[in-house]
Amino acid sequence: MADEKNILMRDYEYELPAERIAQFPLAQRDQSKLLVYKDDQISHSQFNQLTKHLPANSTLFFNNTKVIPARLRFRKDTGATIEIFLLHPVLPSPILQQAMEATGKATWQCTIGNLKRWPDEQVLTFKHSEFTLTARLINRTEGEVEFRWPETKSFAEIVSKSGDIPLPPYLNRATEPADQQTYQTVYSKHEGAVAAPTAGLHFTDSVLQQLEAAGHCTEYLTLHVSAGTFQPVKAEQAQNHIMHQEQIVVTRENIQTLLSSRFTVAVGTTSVRTLESIYWFGVKLMGNNQSTFQISQQEAYTLPQHISVPDALQQVLDYMNLNQLNTLVGETAIYIMPGYKFRTVDALITNFHQPGSTLILLVASFVGSGWREIYDAALATDYRFLSYGDSSLLFRK
C-alpha cells in the first residue's frame, strides 16, 4: 500500500457548516450547480450543461440500484416501538434481487432499535389493509430476523407498503412522502440499496437524452449501496478503518463496453468501486483461477500491480464464457485511499462528501491534493453539500 503512515484522517477533515448541508433536493434535479475540475483548474456550471464538459465519445457508467424502504417499525402492545433496519439478506438467497423476489418468508440480517425490549419468543406483527407482516428474532447476536407474509406477494411489495426510505442520518429529519421519489435516481431499477447513489440524483430524462444526442454511451451496472457507506471513520490512520462490503451485479455487456471505452466516466463513487473491482477480479483470475468474485479492502494493494486493463477485463470475459454466465454477482470491500492507482476511470461525477469520510479519501485519491481547493471553492461559492446537494465533474489527475 502507498505510504500508509502518511494517511492520517485529520488531513482529510474540513469545516462543514450545518447550514450548507442540503436538507431537501431542488425542485428541478438538473438545476443543481456543477463544479468542473480539469487540469488543476476549477470552473462553475450547471448540471444541465454536463454534456458540454465531456470529451467526445465518453462512456458513462451509472449505478441503477434502487433504494428500498429498509426501515420497518413494529409497535408492541406496550406501546414500545421496535425498529428493524434491513441490512443483508440471508435466506432464501443472499443475492439481493432474488431476496426481494422472495414470497412467503425471508431471513435478513438487521440492525434493531430497542432490541432489549424484544424477547426471543415474541413475534412482532405489522398489520396493513392488504396483508399482515410478522417478524421473529432468530439470532439476537447476529441480528437475524425471519419475516413472514402471504405468499401472494413478493418481499419487494411488502416492504414498499410497510417501510420507510432510510434517509442519511446527517439529514437529521424524518422521511417525507416526497423522498420516495426524490431519493431515487430516475433510472433506478434493481431493488436492494439502503442509500441512494446520490451522484445520479441530478440526472433527468432531458440530460440523458442530451448525452445520447451528443454521441456519448450510457451503461448501467449495479452496486447495492449498504448502510456502511455512512459508517464514520474513527481510526486516526486511514488503513485501520474496516470497510463495508457491498454487492455488485455486472453484465457481460458492461465489461465489453468498459474494454472498448475511449474515455470512462463513473457516475458516483459506487460506480468507481464497481469498475475498479471488476479489474481486480480479472487480476485475481490471472493469478490462481479462483472463481469467487470477492474483493477485500486490501487486495487492490497486495495483488500484482502490473496487469494491463485489457488483459484483466479479458480474463473476466473468458471466465464468464467458460462458465456460461451473462451476469456476474460479487462482493466488494475495495478501499480507495490516496496512493491508489486508478485503472478504469478517467472522470468522476460526484457530490460533495462528509469531512473525514472514506468518500473524501476516494476523491483525494482521484484528484490529488487539489481536493481541498475543490472543497474550498464549493464552500466559497454557496454550493449545497451531501446527498441532496450539488455536483462536481472531476477529471483524473
Distance CA 354, CA 339 (A): 20
Work out the average pLDDT over 150-154: 94
**Is-contact 388 201, C-beta < 8 A?**
yes
Question: Would you state the pLDDT for residue 320?
Answer: 95
Taking CA 233 as the corner, what is the angle to CA 199 and CA 13, rounded to the nearest 5 degrees?
Answer: 75
Q: pLDDT per residue over 103-149, tens digit each? A: 999 999 999 998 998 998 899 999 999 999 999 999 999 999 999 99
pLDDT higher than threshold 90 for residue 78: no
Average pLDDT over residues 249-267: 97
CB 278, CB 316: distance < 8 Å: yes
Q: Kindly report, residue by residue over 310-352, the tens digit of the pLDDT.
A: 999 999 999 999 999 999 999 999 999 999 999 999 999 999 9
Mean pLDDT along residues 223-252: 89
Question: Would you say 143 and 110 are in contact if contact means Cβ atoms under 8 Å apart?
Answer: yes
Give the pLDDT mean for 243-255.
Answer: 95
State how far the Cα of 135 lies from the Cα of 72, in Å rounded to an integer. 10
What pLDDT, on the 0 to 100 scale, is given for residue 5? Answer: 56
Give residue 244's pLDDT band: very low, low, confident or very high (50, 70, 90): confident
Residue 6 confidence (pLDDT): 77
Contact call for residues 218 and 212 (beta carbons, < 8 A): yes
Which residues, 6 or more positions from 151, have their beta carbon under 8 angstroms from its beta carbon? 103, 104
Helix, strand, or coil (residue 7): coil
Task: Say if strands 246-251 and 327-332 run parallel, antiparallel, or are unpaired.
Answer: antiparallel
3-state secondary structure of 169: helix
Instruction: Give the β-pairing of 294-295 and 327-332.
Output: parallel
Q: Is residue 388 a contact partner of residue 22, using CB atoms and an 8 Å limit?
A: yes
**To the nearest whole number, what is the mean pLDDT of the chain?**
93
Cis, peptide link before residue 166, omega less than 30° from 0: no
Closest alpha carbon to 113 in 133, 95, 87: 87
Tell me how far apart the alpha carbons of residues 120 and 118 are, in angstroms, rounded to a whole number.
6
Q: What is the pLDDT of residues 211-229, one digit of tens each?
A: 999 999 999 999 999 877 7
Helix or strand (DSSP H, E) at 158 = helix 155-162
- Cβ neighbors of 305 (< 8 A, separation 6 or more) are 341
Transcribe 343-395 into DSSP letters.
SS-SEEEEEPPPTT-HHHHHHHHHHTTHHHHHHHHHHHTT--BSTTS-EEEEE
Each residue's pLDDT tens digit, 263-287:
999 999 999 999 999 999 999 999 8
Give the domains, in start order, of the chain with CATH numbers. Answer: 4-66+182-395 (3.40.1780.10), 70-163 (2.40.10.240)
**What pLDDT score was predicted for residue 200?**
97
Q: How far apart are CA 15 and CA 220, in angstroms?
A: 35
Write out 185-247 in H/E/C secondary structure. Answer: CCCCCEEEECCCCHHHHHCCHHHHHHHHHCCCEEEEEEEECCHHHHCCCCCCEHHHCCCCCEE
Number of H helices, E strands in the chain: 10, 18
Terminal-to-terminal C-alpha distance of the chain: 19
Say if CB 162 and CB 73 are below 8 A apart.
no
DSSP codes of every residue in 291-343? ---EE-SSHHHHS-S---HHHHHHHHHHHHHHTT-SEEEEEE-----TT---S
